Amino acid sequence: MSPSNVSSLAKTDVSAFTKSIFQLFKFRVIELLLITSLPAMFLAARGMPSVNAIIGTLFGGSLAAASANAWNSYLDRDIDSIMDRTSQRPLPLGKLSPLTAQITATLVGALSLIVMMAFTNLLATFLTLVAILWYVVLYTFILKRKSSQNIIWGGIAGCMPVLIGWAAVTNSLSWQAWLLFVVVFFWTPAHFWALAIKYKEDYAAASIPMLPVVKSRKYVSVQIIIYAVLTVLSSLLLTYDSEMGIWYLAIALITGFIFISQTISYHFHKIAETEKQKAMNVFHGSITYLTILSLAIVVLTIIR
């Protein structure tokens, strides 16, 4: 083999390895977590947060989520190989070894805490560690395979960026921080159960007791509606003493009405062939709802 071929092969191997490492991190999930941390920072600062808070929360938080996701990929590598949705991930395909995933998850997690400590404060750093451990230990290792309530309580890890962002700005936690936490807490089951409906057969094959696997369609759809309503009601409470005014209330009401309407539409949908597509409408709609609500908080906080 010529030197040029060896060099080309080496570059290909490095590129493939790097791509596999990044696939461990599940950046689509990280984007959603960052969306929830932004409104907390802007509300806490009553305007534009400090550069240190922004860098620490966004960069350190991304690294923390990447570490948690990498650990999740390592711990779930057996069931990932069973499920069609996850069978093409690096570990099931053998593109990465389990040891490599462990080392990567550990190093990235440690780096996230270093970044948080350097740019924010001890409270934000501690909450970041709690978020990692909650997702890896409580959700992935304990609840996911044992309880249909896995998303409700395991989903608390996804609510932590709100508290982390607030703490990064104020080095404390106020009632508004916890109210934002509650909004994301109620939003998470409605969001994820809609996705779980589409991949119900996958979860059943892997013996994962997601709610759509162990409960009837009617029960699940009613639960989705309940959590969507609780999400919207919680979001309306942010109008109190938030200085965002009538514009936030209007946006929260309109987007909340659309979100709840989508969940109700799924509940009454009777066509089996398009049921999963209808559920995915709820899933994508929930993301749109949370994104618009978060951006509204950021923009209106700056303006007011």
Tokens (6 digits) for 19? 């791509």
What value does the CA radius of gyration of the chain take, rounded to a whole number of Å? 20
Q: Are 246 and 240 in contact (CB under 8 A)?
A: no
Which SS3 state, helix, strand or coil, does residue 270 take? coil
- What is the tens place of the pLDDT at every residue in 58-116? 999 999 999 999 999 999 999 999 998 888 899 999 999 999 999 999 999 999 999 99
- The residue assigned the tokens 């560690």 is 129
Q: What is the pLDDT of residue 218?
A: 95
Contacts of 86 (CB under 8 A, 6+ apart): 76, 79, 80, 92, 202
Q: Sign of dihedral through CA atoms 180, 185, 186, 187?
A: positive
- Residue 283 or 302, more confident: 283
- 12 pLDDT exceeds 60? no
Q: What is the mean pLDDT of residues 151-160?
A: 94
Helix, strand, coil % over all residues of the chain, rounded to 5: 85, 0, 15
Q: How far apart are CA 156 and CA 178, in angstroms?
A: 12
Residue ranges per domain, the chain?
A: 19-303
Residues of the chain above pLDDT 90, percent: 77
Instruction: Supply the pTM of this predicted model.
Output: 0.91
Task: Tell me which DSSP letter residue 48 carries.
Answer: P
- Indicate if the pLDDT at residue 9 is higher than 50: no
pLDDT at 31 over 60: yes
Q: 19-303 in CATH: which number?
A: 1.10.600
Average pLDDT over the chain, rounded to whole? 91
d(CA 295, CA 280): 23
Residue 137 and residue 125: Cα distance in Å, rounded? 18
pLDDT in tens, 287-296: 999 999 999 9
